[in-house]
Amino acid sequence: MKQYAYYPGCSLESLATSYNLSTLEVAHNLGVDLKEIKDWNCCGATAYFPVDELLAHTLVARNLALAEKDGLSDFVAPCSACYKNAYFTNAYLKKDPDLAEHINYALEADNLHVNGTMKVRHLIEVFIEDVGLEEIGKKITHPLKGLRVAPYYGCQLLRPRKENENVENPQFFESLLSALGAEPVDYPSKTRCCGGSLIITNRKAALDMVHILLQDAVNRKADVIATTCPMCNVNLEVYQGQVNREFGTQFAIPVMYFTQLMGVALGIKPGKLGIGKELVSGEPVLAFAY
């Protein structure tokens, strides 16, 4: 069975433990062998790159080097920011020998060397492309029939654009949700930014962006918003209360990780998927678990 180098990232250890739990459960169920990279470090998320690009790249590259050392071919990240950082640092390593030289000079201190040979994937990609929608469909025991899900891709999953990707109107998340038996909602805001770290530095601007996303999901009569990134999830869920206060709305829409939805459909107990810990109750989804 193919082993994937698993890079959970910092969020999955703190705010997004439910993402980590559900990821591991679903992966186990589908036969995806995720081997967590030993001694991985933070990827710098969005904050570090504007501070010092070279150091930020090196930080990311250390994780790639660790994965390469393990002899694995695929580097899988569930968080879109970690994914984006790993993808592009990996790509630049190959294109810019000068950068690679600098990075490797630093990595030497840790007896590491990075070659840029890893294939960097987002978790959702691995499930859709490597396991396949058909296989997933076969293992569904509790199809999410009638559950209207807004597929929130978020922006860093798709942008910056990689080769030949449809970033304006991708459909792969919808396909996955359909395979789970759910009803993907037509959600034009699906690739809009959630505000990301702006929620900390410019609260008002970020809340405005979150408001747009929530309003659109509610307008489209979604029961739940599915996310692929802990930052997006936090912004949409944790700050719903603040959005309500700021804009006078009354949103109470659950926001869950796509792996949690997959887990429920695959018949895994909600408790094991970290369901029950949300701020906005995941009731509509829970209904399918039994």
Helix (H) or strand (E) holding 18: helix 17-30
Q: Please list every residue from 203 through 262 that binds other proteins, using CB under 8 A.
A: 211-212, 215-216, 219
CA distance 83 to 64: 11
Q: Please list every residue from 23 through 52 that binds other proteins, using CB under 8 A.
A: none
Helix (H) or strand (E) holding 212: helix 203-219
Closest approach of other proteins to the CB of residue 244, in Å:
16
Residue showing tokens 């993808």: 87
Q: Please list every residue from 80 through 119 that binds other proteins, using CB under 8 A.
A: none
Nearer to other proteins, 73 or 244 (CB): 244
Nearer to other proteins, 57 or 211 (CB): 211
Nearer to other proteins, 166 or 281 (CB): 166
For residue 286, the one-letter residue type is L
Task: Verify binding: residue 134, other proteins, rule CB under 8 A.
Answer: no
Rounded to 10 degrees, what is the CA torsion of 220, 222, 226, 227? Answer: 40
Rounded to 10 degrees, what is the CA torsion of 99, 104, 107, 113? Answer: 130
Q: Which of 168, 221, 250, 290 binds other proteins (CB under 8 A)?
A: 168
Q: Which of 20, 80, 189, 259 binds other proteins (CB under 8 A)?
A: 189
- Using alpha carbons, list the distances in angstroms from residue 284 to 42, 116, 204, 250: 34, 43, 30, 17
Closest approach of other proteins to the CB of residue 52, in Å:
31
CA distance 142 to 180: 8
Nearer to other proteins, 14 or 164 (CB): 164
By CB under 8 A, the count of residues binding other proteins is: 10
Binding positions for other proteins, rule: CB under 8 A: 166, 168-169, 188-189, 211-212, 215-216, 219
